[in-house]
Amino acid sequence: MSKLKDSVFTGAAVAIITPFKNNCVDFESLGRFIDFQIENGTDAIVICGTTGEGSTLTDEEHRATIKYAVEHTAGRVPVIAGTGSNDTDYAISLSRFACEVGSDALLLVTPYYNKATPKGLIKNFISIADATDKPIILYNVPSRTGCNISLPVYRELAKHERIVAAKEASGNISAIAELAAECGDSLDLYSGNDDQIVPIMSLGAKGVISVLSNIMPRETHDICSLFLEGKVEESRRLQLELLDLINSLFIEVNPIPVKAACALMGFCTSEIRLPLCEMDDRNFEILKSAMTRHGLLKEGAR
């Protein structure tokens, strides 16, 4: 059966950080960073996701940041708004706002902490999809939410015309293979883990929603484009060349390391919101060393 739903994007979407300055969203830095991303090959912008610290933004900040990203991107690449919540009514309100201001799609994480049943998960996502008019990418990251989207739930959700894709960050390649086999005709698949881009693309994924793209947008785009062009060996080689850097970006809980990396590159401050906090000194040195090896920092950079 051929896929009838349109794809939101193909390639590498950046799960973009939200820069802060004096505990406020630094829109000036965000605008410059969006420009840097687009100029260096990023295929889509994901705003206010996990890496964007959406869970610690106030409602006003969350809405303003989505609106700003849409306006500043100005149609150059798709903007995907992170609007999931553990409160379905709030997710509907935020998702409607994102649609009204021109977001191209929505990224909906599984409800966290509540630990919904499969029936509750289906009702949650269908309720949001029915209340909005933009394509929806489901986001499965059970290590952070305590809630996994099982294959029967995916199978049911894939029937909805606006639920078009899944960002899979479960790390379970076997489960992802089953998802691709059963729902690949009705759901696009994106890797949610930078160390699994090539493996998941080998199962039919269209690309990745990436943390690495924050600091290496061109290379992350190239991993995907090379694979899609049939240059699998080159794609695999680039994936493996970057593995040490990818691992260093997850040496502490995301987005702590990538925020520090962006600050080291001069894009923003390293300011992050509690309960997350600045990196351990030893881990910070490991991150800096990896960045230096890949030409992102000069020797002796602070």
Known catalytic residues are 139, 167
Which tokens in the block code for residue 163?
A: 């639920």
Nearest to 83 by CA among 101, 244, 235: 101
Token code pair at residue 129 = 């999809």
Distance separating alpha carbons of residues 81 and 105, to the nearest angstrom: 6
Alpha carbons 233 and 3: distance in angstroms, whole number: 27
Quick count: other Cβ atoms within 10 Å of Cβ 263? 16
Amino acid at 172: N
d(CA 14, CA 214): 6
**Pairwise CA distance, residues 101 & 266, whole Å:** 30
**222 Cα distance to chain centroid:** 17
- DSSP 8-state class, residue 237: H
Q: How far apart are CA 24 and CA 199, in angstroms?
A: 38
Separation of first and last alpha carbons in the chain: 54
Tokens of 109: 């994480």
Cis peptide before 255 (omega within 30 of 0): yes
